[in-house]
Amino acid sequence: MPNTQSSTVERVYDAFFNLIAIAFVLIVISYLFGLIPPNSWRLESGALLCLFLLAYSSIIKENVKTKNVKGLIWNVLILGSGVGACIYLLIEIPRLEWYYGSVWTNMDIVFGTLLIIALLDFSRKKFGWALPIIALIFLAYTLFGDLLSPQFFGHTGFSFERTISYLFGPGAIFGIVMSTFVNIIFIYMLFGVFLERTGVGKFLVDLSFAIAGRLRGGPAKVAVVASAILGSINGNSVANVATTGSITIPLMKKTGYKSSFAGGLEAAASTGGQLLPPIMGAGAFLMAEFLQLSYREVITAALLPAILYFVGVFLMVDLEAVKNNLKGIKDTPKIREVLKSSYLVLPIFVLVYALIIQNMSVTRSGFLAIAACIVISWFTKDHKMGIKGVSNAIIDGAKNSVGIGAMCAAAGIVIGTVSMTGLGNSFSSVIINLAGSNILIVAFFTALISIVLGMGLPTTAAYIISMSVAVPSLVALGIPALSAHLFVFYFAVVSAITPPVGAAFYTGAAIAKANVMATGMHSVRIGIGAFTVPFFFIISPVLLLDGTTFEIVKAAITAIIGIVAVTMAIQRLTFIGTKLFIWQSLLLIASFVMLIYPSLHSDVYGFVIFVLALLLNPKIFSNLFSQKKDLSKTIE
């Protein structure tokens, strides 16, 4: 009897919070379609209230099951603090809209403090200590930065009350980042859930096997293709490594790849998916919102660097297969059979068509793509979505968005402190003074701070925080804002594969059962394009497709040759199996730098050095001749 009562209470409990999830989604949809009054501050407060309830409902349920009394008390207090602060805001917003940032009450400070504490605990539970520690450092800087020298990031100082009252509003926690989450990011996370429900994930993996599985080093090339596509859609490198990697990493190891290489490759490919248009995780949407540009402009600029990145990854995989004489796999799906399910990707084409061809708003394009997922599911055998299926997808979408929503709100603390203190401009002044207005040196420091701030954080948080601090130093030197944002975005993304702390390669190492640091070093080598190409597109916008047709085509061709050169230099091997001397690798690196720099003179010099580096090794001709001889014997 007690067990029956317990299960009944649990079902009622789950049903209640499932209704909250559905209500949350319906409120957001109603707001976006203009069915409720347009007050973004009120909507974001209500959204955060729902996120607190959805997140802590499962945590408290687990505390009760495990009889963790201390954890239960703490989590109930945190939930009460977060929900109470959001309710207080919903009631007081009419007053706060008039007096925000200038006049505050004691209750504003109390509830603002409680909300910040709750958000730090919320983000800690979802993503670990990295974001809370960064937020606390920035908060401490706001409160005590007046103790620093004005020449070294010092400011005039802010009282505790003024700081909390500012963070409690639309300039910080409920600012542009939380607004972007509610208006855009959440819709595309919901789209990702609906798309997954159609069975498109299995189709993409099967398609990757059918296309690349039989090539030399096949499983690794499958990992590149599948992880690139899925990584772009779900926008979470760690989740992508965990899902795709559970299939591809064991196959790579079975084929003959080293465990550390397999884990590093999966991390590099999954992370690089967020650089790949048209979706780019949430990055493109955030960038368009920050810069007030169209989505089409952002993804157009991001296209060629992303292609160069994956060309480099693919070539590194091929050279590794050559080095270890690795073959493809025989038992792969037949392409004709796989393509019978190609209609499953139609929602992605609908999304791209709506965004780029019809130039529809990002939000409406997302809803149209969700509708396409539902319709497409009706033509599948095992994934039809009726009312129950749609409801379950909505509930999962709401619950899946909890972590990103918490992260966006917590990142607002950092944005608010940077806005109050002018840290972005201070950082810019210090860096420019140190670097003497040298663009490459400033870019190096900017890349370094973006990687350090991004370590251990989800890509979205890494980009938001790095952007607020690092972009002004690049813009101050006359670099276009879009180039500066893409530069920072690239290094925020690759922080996930940069030792010593990179969540993506840690996950890859765990699946591959490999040494963590060895896996991290492989992920850096494989993803070398993401560490180098951004330095060139901030010097010249041609690599961002900003130039004449001739300039863009020339830049693309020479950059690809440059990527070929640097991959051979890193592997010290040619594609026909000839080992390279160190001096040849150094020449190839020099040719890479010259070829990728968009200048006719540097392209010519780079190509000459590239050819000379290969021709000066006599073994290349003997290997090439022997391969032709073997081929002629095979034909006979």
pLDDT > 70: percent of the chain: 95
Residue-level pLDDT at 88: 93
Q: How far from 44 is each of 51, 186, 306, 420, CA to CA, in Å?
A: 10, 12, 33, 21
Across residues 274-302, what is the average pLDDT? 84
pLDDT at 411 over 60: yes
pLDDT at 552 over 50: yes
Tens of pLDDT along 86-144?
999 988 888 888 877 778 889 999 999 999 999 999 988 887 888 899 899 999 999 99
51-60, 80-89, 291-300: which has the highest mean pLDDT? Answer: 80-89
Would you state the pLDDT for residue 623? 58
- Interval 399-410: pLDDT, tens: 888 888 888 888
Nearest-10 crossing angle of helices 582-596, 549-571? 160
> Is residue 469 classed exposed, middle or buried when 0-12, 13-18 and 19+ CB atoms within 10 A define those classes?
buried
Task: Report percent pLDDT > 90 for the chain.
Answer: 23
Answer whether residue 167 shows pLDDT above 70.
yes
pLDDT digits (tens, 9 = 90+) for 582-634: 999 999 999 999 998 878 888 899 999 999 988 876 666 555 555 544 433 33
The 10s digit of each residue's pLDDT in 204-245 is: 888 888 887 777 877 888 888 888 877 777 667 777 788 778
In sequence order, the 6+-apart residues with CB closer than 8 A to the CB of 214 are 328, 329, 330, 332
* Distance separating alpha carbons of residues 315 and 322, to the nearest angstrom: 10
Nearest to 287 by CA among 487, 132, 563: 487
Q: What is the pLDDT of residue 278?
A: 77
pLDDT of 622: 59
Mean pLDDT over 290-316 rounds to 90
User: If residue 561 lies in a helix (H) or strand (E), which one and from where to where?
Assistant: helix 549-571
Q: How many CA atoms lie within 13 A of 224 on its CB side?
A: 26
pTM of the model: 0.84
Q: Are 186 and 370 in contact (CB under 8 A)?
A: no
For residues 493 and 502, the answer to whether their CB atoms sit within 8 Å is: no
pLDDT in tens, 336-391: 888 888 888 899 889 888 888 887 888 888 889 999 999 999 988 888 898 888 99
The pLDDT value recorded for residue 624 is 54
What's residue 107's pLDDT?
A: 93
pLDDT for the residue 38: 64
Report whether pLDDT(47) > 50.
Answer: yes
Over residues 553-594, the pLDDT tens digits come to 998 999 999 999 999 999 998 888 888 889 999 999 999 999
Q: How far is Cα of residue 167 from the mean position of the Cα atoms in its chain?
A: 26
Which pLDDT does position 73 carry in this prediction? 92
Contact between residue 216 and residue 315 where contact means Cβ atoms under 8 Å apart: no
Q: pLDDT tens digit string along 306-317? A: 999 999 999 999
How far apart CA 577 and CA 626 sit, in angstroms, is 11
Please state, as a whole number, how many other Cβ atoms lie within 10 Å of the Cβ of residue 186.
27
Amino acid identity at 408: C
541-551 pLDDT tens trace: 888 998 889 98
Rounding to the nearest 10 degrees, give the CA dihedral for residues 515, 516, 522, 526.
140
434-443: average pLDDT: 80
pLDDT band at 635 (very low <50, low <70, confident <90, very high): very low
State residue 573 phi and psi, 5-degree precision.
Answer: -160, 145
Q: Taking all residues of the chain, what is their mean pLDDT, rounded to a whole number?
A: 85
The arithmetic mean of pLDDT across residues 241-262, rounded, is 85
Residue 631's pLDDT is what?
37
Instruction: For tokens 């559905």, name the residue.
Output: 22
pLDDT at 84: 94
What pLDDT score was predicted for residue 627?
A: 53
Which residues have C-beta within 8 Å of that of residue 466, sequence separation ≥ 6?
449, 450, 453, 454, 488, 491, 492
Return contacts of 108-111, CB within 8 angstroms, 24+ apart: 108/164, 108/165, 108/168, 109/160, 109/161, 109/164, 109/165, 111/84, 111/85, 111/168
